[in-house]
Amino acid sequence: MFLRFPGGLVKALTFSYDDGVEQDMRLVKLMDEHGMKGTFNLNSGQFTPEGFAFAPGTIHRRMTLAQNKALFTGRHEVAVHCLTHAYLPDISQERMVYEIVKDRENLEREFGGIVRGMAYPYGAVDDATVEAVRCCGIRYARTTRSTHAFRIPQDWLRLDPTCHHDDPLLMDLADRFVEARNFNEVKLFYLWGHAYEFEANNNWQVIQRFMDRLAGRDDIWYATNIEICDYVLAWKQVYASVDGRRLHNPTSFTLWFEEGGQVRALAPGETLAL
Ligand SMILES: [Zn+2]
């Protein structure tokens, strides 16, 4: 029996972009045009004040709160990137907790919802950081270590992305992902970066080309980070009879799986005889 994504799909694509910069506006527009969804990791203690004028040539321009609220209206996910973009391994654990939980509280107040995602500032993570993240009700937290693979994360609090958008292997990986056929385990392409880098490196064509390659495919689920995390973790809650002939779904998700070449759905609360 193998997990399938909603609708029986075998692949998922998601994006994770950090710091809440002005260039996110163009990136969101590209995602929307390509039918894709992403996660934006914000530092709620560092929104740019209204009326602030950046020095000419400034590339890392954080958005104001109003700009963020106008951009993120529910389609894409807003997630924790810590209150002040602190380097977590170098601060006390109670300060870590404050950086995470205060950011989470601010984001929930301003954007609604229940924020449970995070990206580590600077990608910096150690055991104490993970412990703090867990205490703050975070379900997944992203690192910056590329796997160059499409595995479903085993440790969601050390979620390693497939690659950064400037990775020289980006389009090779995109081709491999699109062309992959006849496999059992579902595949996840997880891309991360900062949208200001497209302006700094003058390479918006990189993300345009990537999206063009992966858009509009009927075997890919285009989802935010938390949608994928919640779905996969819901599957872990399904329980089965000893003989494996009865499955029960205690969650609020319709869960899809493949058994003997047949794709089936398990409704919320359903007990299914196989
Ligand atoms: Zn950052």
C-beta atoms surrounding 171 within 10 Å: 13
Burial class (CB in 10 A: 0-12, 13-18, 19+), 273: exposed
260 CA to centre of ligand 1 in angstroms? 44
pLDDT given at position 182: 84
Within 10 Å of residue 125's Cβ, how many Cβ atoms? 21
Q: How far is the CA of 121 from the centre of ligand 1 (A)?
A: 5
The per-residue pLDDT for 162 is 98
Q: What is the mean pLDDT of the chain?
A: 97
Rounded to two decimals, the pTM is: 0.97
**Cα(72) to centroid of ligand 1, in Å?**
18
116-126 mean pLDDT: 97
Confidence check: pLDDT of 228 > 90: yes
* List of domains in the chain: 12-232 (3.20.20.370), 239-273 (no CATH)
**Rg, C-alpha atoms of the chain:** 19
Would you state the structure tokens that stand for residue 47, as one six-digit string?
Answer: 């929104």
Instruction: Please enumerate in sequence order all residues whose Cβ is within 8 A of that of 176, keeping only pairs 6 or more positions apart, or say none.
Output: none
Q: What pLDDT does residue 218 have?
A: 97
- State the pLDDT at residue 240: 96
- Pairwise CA distance, residues 184 & 201, whole Å: 38
Please, which pLDDT band fits residue 150 given cuts at 50, 70 and 90? very high
User: For residue range 76-87, what is the model confidence (pLDDT) as tens digits?
Assistant: 999 999 999 999
User: How many angstroms is it from 115 CA to the middle of ligand 1?
Assistant: 17
Cα of 54 from ligand 1 centre, angstroms:
19
DSSP 122-181: GG---HHHHHHHHHTT-SEEE-S----S-PPPSSGGGB--SEETT-TTHHHHHHHHHH--
The alpha carbon of 161 and the centre of ligand 1 are apart by a number of angstroms equal to 15
104: how many CB neighbours lie within 10 A of its CB?
23
* Distance (Å, whole) CA 1 – CA 262: 10
Determine what percent of the chain is predicted with pLDDT higher than 70.
100
- Which whole number is the average pLDDT over 12-40? 98
Stated as kind and residue range, the H or E segment containing 225 is helix 225-236
Longest dimension (CA), the chain: 68
pLDDT category of residue 183 using cuts at 50, 70 and 90: confident
- CA distances to 52, 144, 181 from 60, rounded to whole Å, are 14, 19, 40
Q: How far is the CA of 168 from the centre of ligand 1 (A)?
A: 21
Rounded Cα distance, 112 and 201, in Å: 34
Residue 141 alpha carbon to ligand 1 centre in Å:
13
Alpha-carbon distance of 191 to 197, in angstroms, equals 14
Tell whether the model's pLDDT for residue 224 goes beyond 90. yes
Cα–Cα dist 251/232, whole Å: 11
Whole-number Å distance, alpha carbon 212 to ligand 1 midpoint, is 26
- How remote is the CA of residue 62 from the centroid of ligand 1, in Å? 11
CA-CA-CA-CA torsion sign (215, 217, 223, 229): negative
Per-state percent for the chain, helix, strand, coil, to nearest 5: 35, 20, 45
Residue range 144-171: mean pLDDT, rounded: 98
Q: What is the DSSP string of 194-208?
A: -THHHHHTT-HHHHH
Distance 206 CA to ligand 1 centre (A): 20
